Each structure stands twice: as C-alpha cells, then as structure tokens.
Copies of this chain bind each other. A is one copy, B any other.
Amino acid sequence: MTSLLDELTQAVGPAHVLTGNAIPPQHCTDWFNAHTHQPLALVRPGTPDEVARVMAICHRHGQPVTPQGGLTGLVAGATPNEGDVALSLARLNGVEEIDTAAGTLTVLAGTPLQTAQEAARAAGLLLAVDLGARGSCQVGGNIATNAGGNRVIRYGMFRDQVLGLEAVLADGSVVGGLNKMLKNNAGYDLKHLFIGSEGTLGIVTRAVLRLHPLPQSCHTAWCTLPDHDTVVRFLRHAQAALGGTVSAFEVMWPDFHELVTTRVPDMRSPVAAQGLQVLIEMEGSDTERDMPMFSAMLEAAFEQGWLLDAAIAQSLKERESFWRLRDAVSEFPLMWSPYCGYDVSLPIGDLGRFVDELQAALRARFPHCEHVHFGHVGDSNIHVGVHVAAAHGPFPEAEIDACVYGVLRRYGGSVSAEHGIGQHKKAYLGHSRTPQELALMHTLKRALDPHKLLNPGKVLA
C-alpha cells in the first residue's frame, strides 16, 4: 500500500494525495449522507496526463478508483467504497479554446459548468444546457451523467452538446480526441461509451462542446389547462407554431401547485384557475416579431378552448416569479423531511394516466402521505416527491420505491430520466432494461474494465 501511495505522490505531488482526516468529508459521502465510506486516499491530478498516470498506477496495483466531479449528483454515483482511491477532477479547470467559426468550446473536465457557460457568453455564443447546480457541478460530471436540466426540449441533453471528448481508460490509456466536426462517420463513435455511463467505463478529462447562437428574446407564460391530453395538444401546437423555439415546457400537477402556494412563504400563483399548471417559454432571435408570434400562439390555443387561464410575463421580474414557483421544489427538503424523490420518464401521452394511477396507489398504500408531481413534460420526464410525516411511524422508503417503480414498470417507463443510476437506483435498473440489455452492459464493462477498477458498485449490480 505504501508503494501505491508513494507512486501516486510521485505522479501528482505530495500536496495532492490526501489521506485520513485530511480528506474533506464531502469526498466520502453522497448528497444525502446516505452512503459514507472512507477512501484510501483522495488524489487530485492537475492535468489529463496526470489522470492517465494515476490510472496506470492504480491498474498495476489492482486499486479501484471512484472518479469525482462537483459532487452534486443525487444518486451516490461519485461516492467511494471503503478503501477506494477517490480521484477528484477539480484541478482540471479551465476553458482551453473557443472556436467561433466552428462554434465550439474546448474545456477541461473539472471546469464548473457556469464557468464554461460564461466563457461561451463572453464570446457571443450559448452553451445551452443549464441546471440548478451550475456553479458547483463540473463539465466532466455533466458528461459522465448525461445531465439534462431546463432547456432539453430545445437543445437536447448534455450528450447532444458533446462533439469530442478525451477519456482515460481503466489501464491508463487515453482515447478520443478533440473532434470539432458536426459530422464524422469515420468508425465507431466512441464518445457515447463515456457519456452517461457514470465513470464506469472511463474518466472524461477534456471535451469539445457545441455552442449555439445566443437568443435575443425570451417570452414566458403561465397557463392552466384542464387535463393531460389537452396539455399534450397545447405542447404540440406551441412547437409547431413557434418554429422550434420552445425552450421550456414545465407542468405542475394540482398536488404540487397546492402545496407550493399554500405552504411556501410568498408564493402566489399567476392565475386563479384550477387544473394542470404549465410554464412555457420560448427563446427567439427577433425582438420585434417574437412577442406577436408568442401571443398569437396563445390566442389560438384559447380559441381552441385548451386554456382555462393564462398570463404572459410582462417583465423580467414577473418571469422570475413564474420560475420561482416552478423551482420551489428546492424547499421540499426543508419543509417535508423525510421524503423521497423520483426522476422518471414515460412516453408523453402516458404521463397523465401514470400520474392518476400512481396517486391512487400512493393514497391507498400510504393514507397519510403527501405527494407532488411536476416536471419537464415536453421532454417526457417528470419528478415525483412523496412525504409521510414522522408522526405516522418510520418512513417507509423502500415500500414507496416499490410502489412508484411498480406502477412505472407497467407503463414501460424509465427509473432514471436524467439523474442516472449510481447506487440509489441500481436495484431497479431491471425495471427499465431487459435481461439482454443488462447482459450487454456487463459485456461492455468486462471489455473496457475487466478488473472492475472504475467506479465499482455503480450502475451495474
């Protein structure tokens, strides 16, 4: 063991191999402090080349490694097992190049997302994926988990932003490159092995991200609709009428809306009507013509009888108040402990019946529970939260999991739309993937990491 630590120290310098109490506690646990283990060491390489050297050393010693980005994931995907080497990418921090002709940004994996976003904006371009953790999460972690967020409906997931990437394999070899081309069919597209595989097949060290034109206008409305089928009709109408510029389509079921407006201080709904609440936003390029187009789209929906009520944000402040209502989910851990949250996806047309059936199942099984349903319906993704007050006995987390995932399974849904599997959802992966698919995942894992050194215990059982 001394030899391993000595070699790691030689590779990255004594200041960057921490052991024992010197390891900051967040490197030993997950977001909910549910999985806490002491790693053998926290190693902080400073360059992609040092990452490769660290992996080569660990490979020689048969030493498991848990890669760590910004530690903002919600599924314990970057939490070490006892005795792992925790490998932090945080020192690989920096935007290396912005190529405005190619429309690309080349960035080191440990760069915070917000730093990359701001660099793109300073060059007059948009790095399109955005999420709440932007200030802490890192681009490499965003890639490893295929992060989603609020603008997926317009620009896709993180996968869709990645043109090229460089990754270190289990044996320390470096693959991939800084491809800037939108089209490249020269052999297998290897980057997809590393996007969304949560560090179990390789460690992302560097990436080329696609940039988009900066939008020039933003229009936001809050609408109330009677039922889910009408919500889907409204979604498709808006997308057809606005030429691909719909950048958010968030739906809040009545359980969410009532909880937030009655229990969170200073939250008022922009409309009075009861029903499904929809926050819709477009980002356009034409400051004169976009507002008339957005209004005309809403008027046409009114004429169809789809909207019970609607309000267009008349100011940046009003827009912020709409989003504050949608983002009140951040209050749940404070007012609702203990609770459990889910991140599921289903075919868009099935979401309404799924929520109805799940609400009935939850109320039947847990009569004292409270629940919320809300999310990125335009992306086929909703979040579910369930709370049972402590007065009603020990929190039945495993039973709630089984109830939610049981209903989901009947609809052919996914147990993870955007958060990933990590450790939290491993037991339910088979609800969304066939035995043949799981077998092929194991085949890939064996081929790329035969000694199970990379992020062991995550994703696959």
Q: Which residues of A contact B (CB under 8 A)?
A: 99-104, 145-146, 148, 152-154, 156-157, 159-160, 169, 173-177, 179-190, 192-193, 195-197, 201, 212-216, 229, 232, 236, 239-245, 284-286, 289-290, 292-293, 345-349, 376, 379-381, 413-421, 425, 429, 432-434, 436-441, 443-444, 446-448, 459-460
Contacts and interface: CB of A to CB of B under 8 A. Distances in A.
A183 B157 contact: yes
A292 B293 CA distance: 14
A175 B436 contact: yes
Nearest to A440: B175
A243 B245 contact: yes
A404 B425 CA distance: 50
Nearest to A197: B188
Contacts of A446: 447
19 contacts: A101-B232, A101-B236, A101-B349, A104-B347, A148-B183, A160-B160, A182-B381, A184-B417, A185-B416, A186-B432, A187-B429, A187-B432, A187-B437, A189-B192, A190-B437, A243-B244, A243-B245, A243-B284, A444-B444
Copies in the complex: 2
B243 A183 contact: no
Contacts of A232: 101
Given A169-B440, A184-B345, A188-B440, 20 more contacts: A103-B236, A146-B185, A160-B160, A174-B436, A177-B434, A181-B346, A181-B413, A181-B414, A181-B417, A183-B376, A183-B379, A185-B416, A189-B196, A243-B243, A243-B244, A243-B286, A244-B245, A286-B289, A440-B448, A444-B447
Main secondary structure on chain A at its contact with chain B? loop
Contacts of A438: 187
Contacts of A145: 185
Contacts of A215: 243
Q: Please indicate which of the listed interface residues A174, A347, A349, A417 has the most CB atoms of chain B within 10 Å of its own CB.
A: A347
Contacts of A417: 181, 183-185
